[in-house]
Amino acid sequence: NAGVTQTPKFRVLKTGQSMTLLCAQDMNHEYMYWYRQDPGMGLRLIHYSVGEGTTAKGEVPDGYNVSRLKKQNFLLGLESAAPSQTSVYFCASSQPSFRGNTEAFFGQGTRLTVV
Amino acid sequence: AQKITQTQPGMFVQEKEAVTLDCTYDTSDPSYGLFWYKQPSSGEMIFLIYQGSYDQQNATEGRYSLNFQKARKSANLVISASQLGDSAMYFCAMSGSSNTGKLIFGQGTTLQVKP
């Protein structure tokens, strides 16, 4: 059972280059998220999706775009990478719950360095 | 706006002793959830425990318990009988009443267990 899989695990980009991070989940979850983790700041939400074909902005969306064309995949794009986007990126998924107690399942993270 | 605060950047505990990691939160939502995640040095995010705002009893999961004090807006994690494998970063997180599963994270606390 793979859970949430992120591709790639590591990447080095030059300033101005573009790239796409892929997240795939095999748990049939409705909700998916992209977070970034920076030292001393915890995880911050970039974008999220509450279902196939839907996306919404999180706390720090600038410089990123997302797409959810298929329920199991959530793509995070950087059109023109900047050094400030050097971070560890986590994808997560969860299932709706009326009690709100649904845990989020996280991928292994992608370490991105922009030079 | 929702906010999570973890005031202990680093903690030490002797093996087999209990330790409390502090978490305070701020929200105007009447319904919310509180989560604790563990992040070992390998980087993955591991769900530990959940507490709902309307839950009458404090949550427990094995050696983990959540000391929920609603009036004080605190949700401290208690780890009993610490083990060397408990050495990790611990994050407190909160979800709101929007039922999107979005999480707001604290800055994290690094716990080191001494043999």
| Predicted pLDDT of residue A57 | 96
| Predicted pLDDT of residue A98 | 67
- A-chain CB neighbours of B36 within 8 Å are none
Cβ pair B99:A102 closer than 8 A:
no
Question: Torsion-angle region of residue A3: left (phi > 0), alpha (psi -120 to 50) or beta?
Answer: left
| Predicted pLDDT of residue B100 | 86
Q: What is the pLDDT along chain A (115 residues), one digit of tens a residue?
A: 679 999 999 999 999 999 999 999 999 999 999 999 998 778 999 999 999 999 999 999 999 999 999 999 999 999 999 999 999 999 999 988 766 667 899 999 999 999 9
Is some CB atom of chain A closer than 8 A to the CB atom of B12? no
Q: What is the pLDDT of residues B17-37, one digit of tens each?
A: 999 999 999 998 888 899 999
Give the whole-angstrom CA distance, residue B37 versus residue B40. 10
> Residues B27, B5: contact at Cβ < 8 Å?
no
Percent of residues, chain B, with pLDDT higher than 90 = 83
- A-chain CB neighbours of B57 within 8 Å are none
User: Which tokens in the block code for residue A73?
Assistant: 């995949």
Contact pairs from chain A to chain B, CB under 8 Å: 68
pLDDT at B97 over 80: no
Give the whole-angstrom CA distance, residue A36 versus residue A54. 20
| Predicted pLDDT of residue B31 | 86
Best of A98, A103, A108 to disrupt the B interface (most B CBs within 10 Å) is A103
| Predicted pLDDT of residue A41 | 79
Q: Mean pLDDT over all residues of chain B?
A: 94
Side chain identity, residue B93: A
| Predicted pLDDT of residue A77 | 98
Closest residue in B to A107 (Cα) is B44
Q: Is the peptide bond before A8 cis (omega within 30 degrees of 0)?
A: yes
